[in-house]
C-alpha cells in the first residue's frame, strides 16, 4: 500500500459514484445540485472495471487504505469528497488493540441519543442497537407483539419486558455486535431490564448519560423529522433537510407530539434513578444542551480516554 488515506461519506452528499477504472486507480466523485468534486487514489485496489452508484444511506463507513497514525475520523458533516468503503469490501473499523467497545447511551426522550449514535458509529464502527427502533420495526411487521408495543408507546409508557428483553438480547448476540462492539441506545430503561442484561452477561465499558434541560427536550421532539429513505434524523430548526426533495418526504413519529413527550418524560423520571444506580461507576455525564458537534466532542473525548486507558493497561500487562 502506498496511500495513507481516510475519509468518511458525507450524509449531505446526494450521490456518490465509485469507479474502479483499472488495476491501479480508483476515481471517486460526488455531486449535488450546488457542487461536484472528485478524487483519485492510485495503487490501492485490485483489478476491476466497474462503476457503482450508491445511495448516501449506504455511505456510512470509514475507508482506510494503509496504516494511518492520525485520527480516522472526518466529520460526517464535512463537505469533502466522500469515499465508500462498504462497496469496496475494505475494512471500515478503526484499528483495535483490545476487545471491542461496549457502550450504553442514555438520556431523556429527544436528548440526542440517536443523533450521537450516528456520529459514534461513524468513528468507532460500533453496532447501533436502539430499543425504540427494534420496537418500531416490530410494529411494522404487524405482529401481535408489535400491536401490543404500540399501545404502550402511544401512552408514553415502557413496553413490557416480555417483549423488549429478548428482542435486545437477541440483537446483541448477533455476530456483528459481538465482533465490532455495540452501542446500546435507550436500553435498559428499568431496573428489571438492567438486571436481566447483567444476568445475560452484557456489561458495558461506559455508560454515557446525556443531560438536557426539559424545555429544550420538548422543542427537539416537536421539531424532529425522519427521512424514511435514509433513516437520517432531522430537526426543522437545528438540522433542516438539505434539499426540497428530502423535505417533501420527511415523516414525523407518532409519539412526537408535545402531549406525548410529557408522558414519555414522566416515564423517564420514574425509572432513570434505578438504572443509573446500576452503572454509577462507569457513568460519564455529558452536557447535551449544546450543538450536536459539541456534544459529540465530549463523548469522543470520553471514548478516546477509555481506549487509551485500555491500551496502557494491556501494554503494562505485556511488559
Interacting residues with ligand AP5 (CB under 6 A)? 107, 109-115, 131-132, 135, 152-153, 156-159, 164, 186-189, 193, 220, 223-224, 233-235, 238-239, 264, 291-292, 295
Q: Environment class of residue 258 by beta-carbon count within 10 Å: exposed (0-12), middle (13-18) or buried (19+)?
A: exposed
Q: Are 46 and 17 in contact (CB under 8 A)?
A: no
Known catalytic membership, residue 169: no
| 35/203 Cα distance (integer angstroms) | 46
Known catalytic membership, residue 53: no
Q: Are 71 and 94 in contact (CB under 8 A)?
A: no
Q: Helix (H) and strand (E) counts for the chain?
A: 10, 13
| 132/185 Cα distance (integer angstroms) | 8
Residue 72: CB minimum distance to ligand AP5, A:
23
Q: Which is nearer to ligand AP5, 254 or 309 (CB)?
A: 254
Known catalytic membership, residue 96: no
Ranked by CB distance to ligand AP5, the top (closest) residue is: 132
Catalytic residue among 96, 121, 169, 253: 253
Residue 217: CB minimum distance to ligand AP5, A:
8
Q: Which is nearer to ligand AP5, 72 or 188 (CB)?
A: 188
Catalytic residue among 136, 232, 264, 292: 264
Residue 77: CB minimum distance to ligand AP5, A:
12
Residue 36: CB minimum distance to ligand AP5, A:
27
HSE-CB at 90 with a 13 A cutoff on CA atoms is: 22
Q: Which is nearer to ligand AP5, 97 or 273 (CB)?
A: 273
Q: Environment class of residue 129 by beta-carbon count within 10 Å: exposed (0-12), middle (13-18) or buried (19+)?
A: buried
Residue 256: CB minimum distance to ligand AP5, A:
7
| 32/163 Cα distance (integer angstroms) | 43
Q: Which is nearer to ligand AP5, 45 or 296 (CB)?
A: 296
Catalytic residue among 189, 220, 225, 292: 189
Catalytic residue among 224, 232, 260, 292: 224
Q: Which is nearer to ligand AP5, 104 or 303 (CB)?
A: 104
Known catalytic membership, residue 225: no
| 181/101 Cα distance (integer angstroms) | 5
Q: Environment class of residue 105 by beta-carbon count within 10 Å: exposed (0-12), middle (13-18) or buried (19+)?
A: buried
Known catalytic membership, residue 253: yes
Q: Which residues are catalytic?
A: 113, 189, 224, 253, 264
Amino acid at each position: 500500500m502506498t496511500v495513507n488515506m481516510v475519509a468518511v461519506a458525507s450524509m449531505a452528499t446526494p450521490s456518490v459514484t465509485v469507479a474502479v477504472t483499472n488495476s491501479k486507480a480508483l476515481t471517486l466523485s460526488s455531486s449535488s445540485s450546488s457542487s461536484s468534486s472528485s478524487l483519485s487514489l492510485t495503487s490501492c485496489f485490485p483489478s476491476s472495471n466497474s462503476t457503482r452508484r450508491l445511495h448516501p444511506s449506504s455511505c456510512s463507513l470509514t475507508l482506510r487504505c494503509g496504516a494511518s497514525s492520525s485520527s480516522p475520523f472526518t466529520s460526517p458533516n464535512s463537505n469533502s469528497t466522500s469515499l465508500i468503503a462498504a462497496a469496496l469490501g475494505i475494512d471500515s473499523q478503526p484499528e483495535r488493540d483490545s476487545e471491542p467497545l461496549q457502550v450504553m447511551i442514555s438520556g431523556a426522550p429527544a436528548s440526542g441519543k440517536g443523533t450521537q449514535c450516528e456520529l459514534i458509529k461513524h468513528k468507532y464502527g460500533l453496532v447501533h442497537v436502539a430499543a425504540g427502533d427494534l420496537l418500531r420495526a416490530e410494529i411494522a411487521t404487524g405482529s401481535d407483539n408489535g400491536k401490543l408495543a404500540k399501545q404502550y408507546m402511544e401512552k408514553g409508557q415502557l413496553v413490557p419486558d416480555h417483549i423488549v428483553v429478548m428482542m435486545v438480547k437477541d440483537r446483541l448476540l448477533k455476530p456483528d455486535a459481538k465482533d465490532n462492539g455495540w452501542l446500546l441506545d435507550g436500553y435498559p430503561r428499568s431496573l428489571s431490564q438492567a438486571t436481566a442484561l447483567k444476568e445475560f452477561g452484557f456489561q458495558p465499558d461506559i455508560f454515557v448519560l446525556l443531560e438536557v434541560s426539559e424545555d429544550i427536550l420538548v422543542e427537539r421532539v416537536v421539531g424532529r423529522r425522519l427521512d424514511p429513505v435514509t433513516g437520517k434524523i432531522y430537526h426543522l430548526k437545528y438540522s433542516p433537510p438539505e434539499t426540497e426533495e428530502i423535505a417533501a418526504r420527511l415523516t414525523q413519529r407518532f409519539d412526537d407530539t408535545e402531549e406525548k413527550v410529557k408522558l414519555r418524560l414522566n416515564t423517564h423520571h420514574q425509572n432513570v434513578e434505578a438504572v443509573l444506580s446500576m452503572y454509577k461507576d462507569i457513568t460519564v455525564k455529558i452536557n447535551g444542551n449544546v450543538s450536536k458537534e459539541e456534544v459529540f466532542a465530549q463523548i469522543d473525548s470520553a471514548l478516546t480516554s477509555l481506549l487509551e486507558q485500555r491500551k496502557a493497561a494491556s501494554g503494562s500487562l505485556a511488559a
